[in-house]
Amino acid sequence: MLPTRFFFRGYSKQLLHQVNIQVASLSCSRTGVIQRVQADRQFCSNAPTDNQIYHGVLSPQIRAVKVFSLVTSIGGIVAQPILLDQANKIGGTPMIVAVCGIAGFFTFVTPFLLHLITKRYVIDLHYDVLNKEYTATTITFLLQRQTTKFKLEDVVVPEVPGMFTTFIVGNKSLFVDPTLFPDPTHYIKIMGYDKPIDFKFEEARQGSESESKK
């Protein structure tokens, strides 16, 4: 009986030892899973919510052209007294008028015309996932970055697009190239292509009825 008793006692100790090992391993794995979940939550909380969804490839060229235009304008203003003096010596008043017209066009008119075109070009477009808000970046007359924040309900797409105008936000016209969107979903949402098409049949019917009553 004694060997049998010692056998069962030893077997029970071994079995209890294995159970303790399994419990310890499960506890460690559970702790690892909890730590991993906490790390994932911390990573998600620290992850950036403002994502760049668009970048205009013509941004360097636009900056270079505007810099050149501003430099030539400043040079024209500085050189204008000398040009007027030389024009007065050469041809008098008619020459002064001609020089003022040509110099004034390249000094003042060209930069403003260039700004009217380039101020609509979006160089960057970001999307805030939390606030569901877009931020469009354009270049000002003095080469400063100007941001325009808007949501989808603020966008107005003109029925007849103007020159260098893709959509309008408030009183500001913006131009983007649809081929430069890595994810075209944002362009589709901004332009309202995901909404049902309104053929305005009801307005046409009401107009025809009013004309028939007359």
Do 128 and 73 share a structural domain?
no
String of DSSP letters for 152-163: GGGEE--SS--T
pLDDT surpasses 50 at 11: no
Give helix 59-104 / helix 110-118 axis angle, nearest 10°: 150
String of DSSP letters for 79-146: HHHHHHHHHHHHHHHHHHHHHHHHHHIIIIIHHHHHHHHHTTB-SEEEEETTTTEEEEEEE-TTS-EE
Residue 20 lies in a domain: no
Do 111 and 139 share a structural domain?
no
pLDDT surpasses 60 at 163: yes
| pLDDT at residue 194, as a whole number | 83
| Contact in structure between 77 and 107 (CB atoms under 8 Å) | yes
| Contact in structure between 157 and 84 (CB atoms under 8 Å) | no
Containing structural domain, residue 71: 55-118
Closest CA to 176 of 56, 61, 59: 56
Do 179 and 145 share a structural domain?
yes
> Rounded distance, CA 131 to CA 50, Å?
10
> Rounded distance, CA 87 to CA 80, Å?
10
Residue 60 lies in a domain: yes
Question: Hey, what are 6's tokens?
Answer: 């010692």
Q: Could you say which of 98, 118, 138 is where a domain stops?
A: 118
| pLDDT at residue 54, as a whole number | 95
Average pLDDT of the residues in 156-184: 90
Residue 30 lies in a domain: no
Q: 74-78, 147-151, 197-201: lowest mean pLDDT where? A: 197-201
| pTM of the predicted protein model | 0.62
pLDDT higher at 181 or 70: 181
Average pLDDT of the residues in 156-164: 83
Do 80 and 135 share a structural domain?
no
| Residue 178 neighbours by CB under 8 Å, 6+ apart | 166, 184, 187
DSSP 163: T
Do 99 and 79 share a structural domain?
yes
Query: How many independent structural domains does the chain possess?
Result: 2
> Rounded distance, CA 27 to CA 116, Å?
67
Average pLDDT of the residues in 47-64: 82
Q: How confident is the model at residue 19 (pLDDT cuts 50, 70, 90)?
A: very low
